[in-house]
Structures are given as C-alpha cells and as structure tokens.
Amino acid sequence: MRNPFKSFYHVPNSQELLDVAFSRAMKSSAKVSKNAPILVKAKKKESRRIKVAIGELIDRILKIIKMVPIINELPEFYKELSSLLVDTNKLKKSLGKLNGILPVLSKLERKYIQALKSIDEPKEGDRIRRETFGRVSSIVNKQNKTLIYLNSIRGKLREIPSIDYTRPTIVCAGAPNVGKSSLVKILSTNKRIEVQEYPFTTKTLNLGHIKIERRFDSLILQIMDTPGILDRPMSERNEIELQAILALRLVSDMVLFIFDPTPSSGYTVESQIQLYYEIENNFCKPRNIELYPIFNKMDLVSEGEIEFLKNKLNLKNSNFILTNALTSENTEKILTFLKERYGKLEEL
C-alpha cells in the first residue's frame, strides 16, 4: 500500500494560518444593494469578513488533521514503524489539541455575528471585527508549538517506504558497512540510495524493485535496504537498528544476509556470525523464511577468510554467493538465484 503518511504535507505555523485567513477575509465582499443604508452595509461587510476568516482557519486546521492517518487503524508495519520514528502518543495529542479549538472558533463566530446585528453605528462593526480577530489570533497562536511540532515530524513519516503486501519482499540484513546499500542499489530500480565508505550511512528503510521474467508473465519483487544491525540485546538497540528488526519481523519473505569476511567493515566475522544466527533463530525459522548468505568484498577477501566463514556456517559452495558490490562482480548470480526462487511462482 502507499505510505499512509505520504500526504502529510507542510504544516503552517500559527502566523501563516492567520495571515492567510485575515488576508482573504479583508479581500472578501458581501452582496449588498447599493441603495442599502450604511449601517446595513457595515453589518454585512464585517459579518462576511468574520465568517471568511474563521471558516478559512477551520478548513485549514481540518486539512492538517486529515493529512495524518489514524495510527491505530494502520497495518502493523506502518503502525510500529511510525512509533519508532516519532512519539505517536504526542502526535495524537497534538491533533487532538487542534481539533479541540474548532468548536471554540465556531462559537466565537456565532457570538460576534450576533453582536454585529445589534450595532447602532457603522464604526462599531469595525470594532467588533477587530475584537473577533484578536480573540481568534490568541486561540490560534496558543497552538503554534503544536503546529511547529507537527511540521517537524512529517519528514520522517513521509520517508517510510510504500510496501505492496501482494508482492514478495526480500530484506537485506547484516552489520553496518558490509555493503547492503551498494547491493540493493545495483540489483534494484532504486539508484538514489546513499552509499558511503563509513558505517551507519543508512538511517531509514529504502525500497527498490526487481523485475523477474517468467514464462508467461513477469513478477515484481521488492528488495529492502535496512540499516545495519549490531549484535546486542534488543533493549539496547537504537531507533535505526529497530527499523531493520521491524522489516525482518513484519514484511520479509526472504532475507539476504550480507557478510563482510574481511576486517574492513570494522565488525568481526564472529560478531556477524552471531548476528546471522540470531536472525535465523528469532525471525526466519519461526516464520519459515529463507535466509541466504552473501559474502561481499570478494576483491579484498582471502581464501582463508572465505573458508573460515564457510566452516563456521557449515556451508557448501552452492549455499552462498561471493560478490563485489563496488564493481557489480557476481551480482548477476544473485539475480539468477532470485529468478530460480521466484520464477516458478504462480502469477500474483
């Protein structure tokens, strides 16, 4: 499904809201006969301005509220990921605060429209309208921190990838700086993934697509680049690592575990092996998900390092793929492997 937060656009601050509302109000005109008394014209004109200003504010605040989906009604992946990225309880309270001022604004509108009906002089209409705008400004300005907060979190939520639950999803996992992003960038349609020579470049989940040609049709696979995971207790993992865990738990159909058998990643082979078995035991075996190892950085790795890793994982040569994500060497073997796994599936 499409990221439910994709329509969470810019949230104006209180002054921006007020400027637009009052500007439109002052430019508005009421339909009054040219022959109508000045007092009637004043009542109509100021009544129209009050209605336009408050109506504009209510419409824009409602639009802000409706931009954010109801968190509790989201699929589990989006619900949990949004909770990782932002304080969803604070988000709900913020939207509740905005919603709470709507009846207050409507009540003010009725009050001052009624007051305009009993004025005796045209200048009284101007005074009442100014008083209305002052009260309205005070109410809206009290929500400025709320508006600023909403605007500050929308970027994180809009970056959540759009997952199609009808398509298979391959999750690339492993320690930081082992080459996950480079491989996903090579294999998939997503060429905008940031790749650097240092760990923790990937801060969020990135999604690409792979097209598998079959006998009578084609199948689109989703392949997800995840932030690197360190081997440590779940309670000690940070927000970035937990995103990867969430993807493994909720959306993966297959896990490609990327190893760096060399010391270049900064993480020992032993720690990577421990992480491999943790993912296998906690996420793959319980859900019958295939876990397939990829040995990266074949330009740097020695025969001894390959043999050491093979023996530790009890692998044969046909049970893993040796690649170089920097030069794309052997990455076509991963595509062949995926075609063999998914090419015989019935059309989804």
Encode pLDDT of 95-153 as tens digits.
Answer: 999 999 999 999 999 999 999 999 999 899 999 999 999 999 999 999 999 999 999 99
- Residue 193 pLDDT > 60, yes or no? no
Amino acid at 295: F
- Residue 346 pLDDT > 60, yes or no? no
Give the whole-angstrom CA distance, residue 9 versus residue 65. 11
Q: Looking at the whole model, is its pTM more than 0.85?
A: no
Give the whole-angstrom CA distance, residue 66 versus residue 316. 55
- Mean pLDDT of all residues in 212-222: 85
- Residue 25 pLDDT > 50, yes or no? yes
Distance between alpha carbon 189 and the CA centroid of its chain, in Å? Answer: 19
- Residue 72 pLDDT > 90, yes or no? yes
- Residue 348 pLDDT > 50, yes or no? no
- Residue 202 pLDDT > 60, yes or no? no
- Mean pLDDT of all residues in 317-341: 91
Give 47's contacts (C-beta < 8 A, 6+ positions apart): 30, 113, 116
- Mean pLDDT of all residues in 8-15: 97
- Residue 214 pLDDT > 70, yes or no? yes
What per-residue confidence (pLDDT) applies to 20? 97
| Exposure letters 316-331 (e unless 16+ CB within 10 A, then b) | eeeebbbbbbbeeebb
What per-residue confidence (pLDDT) applies to 199? 42
Distance between alpha carbon 13 and the CA centroid of its chain, in Å? Answer: 22
- Residue 7 pLDDT > 70, yes or no? yes
What per-residue confidence (pLDDT) applies to 32? 66
Share of the chain above pLDDT 90, in %: 62
Give me 31's structure tokens.
């339909």
Distance between alpha carbon 263 and the CA centroid of its chain, in Å? Answer: 34
Give 103's contacts (C-beta < 8 A, 6+ positions apart): none
Lowest mean pLDDT among 175-184, 188-197, 221-230, 251-260: 188-197
Q: What is the DSSP string of 257-308?
A: EEE--SGGGSS-HHHHHHHHHHHIIIIIHHHT-EEEEEE--TTT--HHHHHH
Q: What are phi and psi of 199, to 5 degrees?
A: -70, 165
What per-residue confidence (pLDDT) applies to 237? 74
What per-residue confidence (pLDDT) applies to 267? 87
What per-residue confidence (pLDDT) applies to 203? 59
- Residue 236 pLDDT > 50, yes or no? yes
pLDDT band at 342 (very low <50, low <70, confident <90, very high): confident
What per-residue confidence (pLDDT) applies to 59? 98
What per-residue confidence (pLDDT) applies to 239? 81
The helix/strand/coil state of 223 is: strand
Cβ atoms of 321 and 258 within 8 Å: the answer is no
Give the whole-angstrom CA distance, residue 22 versus residue 30. 15
- Residue 201 pLDDT > 60, yes or no? no
- Mean pLDDT of all residues in 330-346: 85
- Mean pLDDT of all residues in 66-82: 94
